[in-house]
Structure 1
Amino acid sequence: MSNLLSSWICPSCQTALVLHQNVWRCENNHSFDKAKEGYVNLLLAQNKNSKAPGDNKQMVNGRRAFLESGFYQALAQTITGMFKLHLSPSELDETINIFDAGCGEGYYLNWLAEHLSLPNDNLTIHYSGVDISKFAIQKAAKKYLNQQYAVASTFHLPLPSASQDGVLQIFAPSSELEIHRVLKDKGIWVVVNPASEHLQEFKFALYDSPTQHQAKPLEPQGFLLKQQFNLNFDLELPSKNQVENLLMMTPYYWSATEQKRQQLIEYVTAVTVDFDIRVYIKK
């Protein structure tokens, strides 16, 4: 069973926001309009690094087209398995909260909402996510009506402290302190980052001396590493459009020259996918 998150917190004063007549408002009278797509923009001007931070519309459209083609379904299934294995709500819990920090256009959070099953069938699960890209959140909220979305920075999460049972983070920067703050005691944090061989064919096509991804330290402060493994597989990309969509999901799209990008799109037909997956528990 799934339902919507009861409220966000105000990014200005960190008090609870309450939704009334399409306006989220706190006790200090800070207000944030609910957009027609259903999301709320909680990204304060001082937390923006540009006029339109995050992925642009072209990148978001490419990401949705690629993910909905099922190329990364194995990752979505694996993540769901991690939540099922490590989430441990008590028998007294009636609701649990799962949050996606850097949710993009909502593919993985929606997969969790549709496929996560827990032993207690009467448990209500709230799913929510934020991303710094307004274009991504617009697309997520418009399609996935049973989750709650907001435009916000992953370094300033608009969530009450100790409110989340699980946090998902895929290829997104964040503040470890913020993740620790919003998780309940013994809450889980599922983190996915590129491993050493991830999309190595792109790097070989774009750079003369490509370097491998460096693994992050194993145990952030305040967390216990519960599980760590790599998900590695080869991926055939039947069309140039799919190659370009995948390329747009990476930093390589903007760091390479136009000539290099076009050569890659023309000649790369398969890639190595290599995910570093870690499950942490808040101490």
Structure 2
Amino acid sequence: MTILPFDALACPLDGGRLQAIGKSWCCDAGHSFDVARQGYVHLLPVQNKRSKDPGDNKQMVAARQRFLNQGFYQPIAEAVNQAVLSDLPDKGTVNVLDAGCGDGYYLRFLASAVQTSQELALLGVDISKWAVLAAAKQNGGSRWVVGSNANLPVLPETLDRVLCLFGFPVYGEFARVLKPGGQIVQVDAGPGHLRELREVVYAELKAQKEQEQPAPGGFHYLGSERVQYDLVLHEKEQVADLLAMTPHLYRASAEGRARAEGLQSLTVSVDVLLRRYEKA
């Protein structure tokens, strides 16, 4: 399999095609975006930021990177690979976007673990500059961009697959950038996901019911797959990293976080649902 960087980037200011000129990406209107020393490009205009430093901070990214690189979520990555590579076009390069790529774990796993003759052009986009920086440092073969799912810096109808893994789907944007027949591969937490950790950090758990989600407008539902298994964390640092990479770190009270910090080990349930949608 040949891995290529995805090049059909769009200017975040006017939507025009960006072209690589030297160490910058430029559009015909004269907007220019420099490539960072680590190889990524920042395509999130200041006016589109909701805070000075949006997305995961440096500490959260480092915790997620340590946790994922130990293979704890590999069964999820394997299911994503299978979904991405099924029903691929027979000819041409397959363009794949990870919308909310984090430190790039799932794209790296896709690039390294699958053996086919297909050409894949990969693009990772995340609103956190720390996440994109970590991704670019670990894999220079893909294209890494600081950007937003609400305004993807991608030309219309240029993608075959969009991944949204534990992220924030913006279906209108996904429909815009996907080719006809292109697919969304979406992974969300199920009601039992990390239940044992949540029982530690919260005084009381709210009952969670799984709800059927209709296909978003402009898409057909292709099917779903449940990934469930027990995850055994033997070290205090692994428990801390798991908590740090979830929203529970900030939602829990100080007492709940203190209880989690006292754990020397933990067995937690992994429960996620993978859904696939096809653009009509």
- Distance in 2 separating the partners of 1:21 and 1:14: 21
Q: Within 5 Å, which residues of 2 pair with 1:72-83? A: 72-83=73-84
- Distance in 1 separating the partners of 2:274 and 2:226: 6
Q: Within 5 Å, which residues of 2 pair with 1:1-283? A: 1-85=2-86, 87-90=87-90, 93-118=91-116, 121=117, 123-211=118-206, 212=208, 214-215=210-211, 217-267=213-263, 269-283=266-280
- TM-score (ref. length: structure 1): 0.94
| Residue aligned with 1:232, SS | strand
- Distance in 1 separating the partners of 2:271 and 2:147: 28
Identity of aligned residues (%): 37
Structure 1 gaps of 5+ residues are: none
Moved more, 60-69 or 38-47: 38-47
- Distance in 1 separating the partners of 2:273 and 2:5: 30
- Distance in 1 separating the partners of 2:67 and 2:212: 27
* Cα distance per residue 1:172-215 (max 9 Å; x no partner): 11311001111111111100000010011122112233122654
- Distance in 1 separating the partners of 2:73 and 2:276: 19
Structure 2 gaps of 5+ residues are: none
* Cα distance per residue 1:38-88 (max 9 Å; x no partner): 000001112111100000000000000000001001111111111222x32
Q: Name the aligned partner's letter for residue 89 of structure 2.
A: P
What do you get for the CA RMSD once the two structures are aligned? 1.4
- TM-score (ref. length: structure 2): 0.95
Moved more, 37-46 or 266-275: 266-275
1:218 shift after superposition: 3.0
Q: Tell me if the contact between 1:162 and 1:182 (Cα under 8 Å) persists in the aligned partners.
A: yes
Q: Name the aligned partner's letter for residue 273 of structure 1.
A: V
1:115 shift after superposition: 2.2
Deviation >4 Å, runs of 4+? none
Moved more, 129-138 or 249-258: 249-258
- Distance in 2 separating the partners of 1:198 and 1:117: 31
Q: Name the aligned partner's letter for residue 65 of structure 2.
A: R
1:6 shift after superposition: 2.1
Q: Tell me if the contact between 1:55 and 1:133 (Cα under 8 Å) persists in the aligned partners.
A: yes
Q: Name the aligned partner's letter for residue 269 of structure 2.
A: T
